[in-house]
């Protein structure tokens, strides 16, 4: 994320909730450019632990978006403006809303671009809910 944030591309967030505060949406990099920035030990560790860089990006869809072969930091506010449901609302049921801390709230230098009421992730521990989804149980052979 820091590689993308260092390539600053400022967006104006939700003017109503953010008081015209700018939000650093970062730039974009190709997968090869990101891989070139990582040492071979890190790439091998990613491969062992989660299947590699591409898998890490797919599993981190709250944070990253890959468009036309380029990696971007996901801009949740722009998704709302386009009128399509945010990524989390397309893939997750209501039972899992606010069951994980918002990465942007916790780690992005400008915080989350969405107000807490619109973000499907928790903006702090006081918003966290217990997940109501049941994990699939493996059937005995």
Do residues 25 and 79 lie in contact, with contact meaning Cβ atoms separated by under 8 Å? no
- For residue range 81-105, list pLDDT tens digits in order: 777 655 545 555 677 789 999 999 9
pLDDT value at residue 2: 74
For residues 17 and 125, the model is more confident at 125
Across the range 40-47, mean pLDDT stands at 93
| Secondary structure (3-state) at 24 | strand
Flag whether pLDDT at 134 surpasses 90: no
Radius of gyration of the chain (CA): 17
């Amino acid at each position: 994320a820091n590689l993308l944030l260092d390539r600053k591309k400022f967006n104006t967030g939700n003017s109503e909730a953010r008081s015209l505060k700018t939000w650093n949406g970062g730039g974009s990099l190709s997968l090869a450019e990101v891989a070139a920035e990582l040492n071979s030990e890190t790439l091998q560790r990613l491969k062992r632990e989660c299947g590699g860089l591409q898998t890490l990006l797919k599993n981190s869809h709250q944070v990253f978006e890959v468009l036309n072969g380029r990696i971007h930091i996901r801009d949740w506010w722009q998704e709302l403006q386009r009128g399509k449901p945010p990524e989390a609302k397309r893939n997750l049921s209501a039972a899992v809303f606010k069951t994980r801390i918002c990465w942007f709230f916790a780690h992005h230098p400008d915080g989350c671009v969405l107000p807490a009421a619109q973000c499907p992730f928790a903006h702090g521990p006081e918003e966290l809910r217990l997940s109501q989804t049941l994990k699939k149980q493996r059937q005995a052979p």
